[in-house]
Structure 1
């Protein structure tokens, strides 16, 4: 299990949750204003926000404390890595679909989606950091603590 007694992880998870709420609000507003007629990338960013707020952040905060059986160090790394890939794919795809900044002019949902892409990029960096920290913690952890029995060489 990764070290969650450090407040750094709680701070990073809190910022990830706040950025996910911002992305969720911005993409949800765009979907609402356009009556749901929008690109799949906006829906994917909406999914990223929901995934992060309701699945990932509660899992990383609650599972190591209350359900350590499902908080194995490599599962934590895998969930972090998958979420990092989700955010990377989401913000890149959304930024490509939106194009340059001049294409939005004064249309509010488009400007909100530009902000959602930016906050998605910030969240990707945060998940990259937590993935690296979790991987370093998993690699440092001895898989079987205590004295190890000698291994037998079979010719």
Structure 2
């Protein structure tokens, strides 16, 4: 077992995901608030989508942390449900930070609000990268379990991406 597949490493990645989501939520909320106060209009959809991404991530992380830990072999604790949650969240973050980066590339942008929007795009990219890592770990675990005919081959994951000690 590699160092990137220990329970402590997975927990550290989950903590990083929560922290990055909170940072992006704060930055995009600031930009959305400024936009509605200054322009008296709704904030751009790119900002709104990153707000959605951050909230979605916090809900998915609750699922990804609590369900495998508390519910041993229920339908909610299926390895493909875990992989689907990881994959969807990874795709959402990719779409969100790219959309905001493209939006900011076409604008004359200066001041604190512009810096906050650019920082939100950068932190969104970091969040995407961390989700790529955890999605790859989840997919590798499915492939490994399928090859060995383990419990995960029948859709019964262990906590923290079905990492089995000694495998």
Instruction: Tell whether the structures are fold-level matches, with TM greater than 0.5.
Output: yes
Matched residues in 2 for 1:20 and 1:33: separation? 20
Q: Alpha-carbon deviations, 1:57-104, whole Å to 9, x = none?
A: 11111000112311211111111000000000000000000017x832
Alignment partner of 2:120 out of 111, 116, 119: 116
Distance in 1 between residues matched to 2:88 and 2:25, nearest whole Å: 19
1:47 aligns with 2:48: no
Equivalent residues in 2 for 1:1-155, closer than 5 Å = 6-35=7-36, 37-53=42-58, 55-68=59-72, 69=74, 70-99=76-105, 103-105=108-110, 107-141=111-145, 142=149, 143-144=153-154
Q: Give the paired residue count.
A: 138
Which has the larger Rg? 1
**TM-score normalized by the length of structure 2:** 0.78
* Paired residue secondary structure (1:38): coil
**Which deviates more, 20-29 or 64-73?**
64-73
Three-state SS of the structure 2 residue aligned to 1:104 is coil
Show CA shifts across 1:36-57 (max 9, x none).
622101000000011111x111
Q: Which runs of 4+ in 1 moved over 4 A?
A: none
CA drift of 1:5 comes to 6.3
Larger helix percent: 2
Shift of 1:114: 0.3
Structure 2: gaps spanning 5 or more residues: 155-167
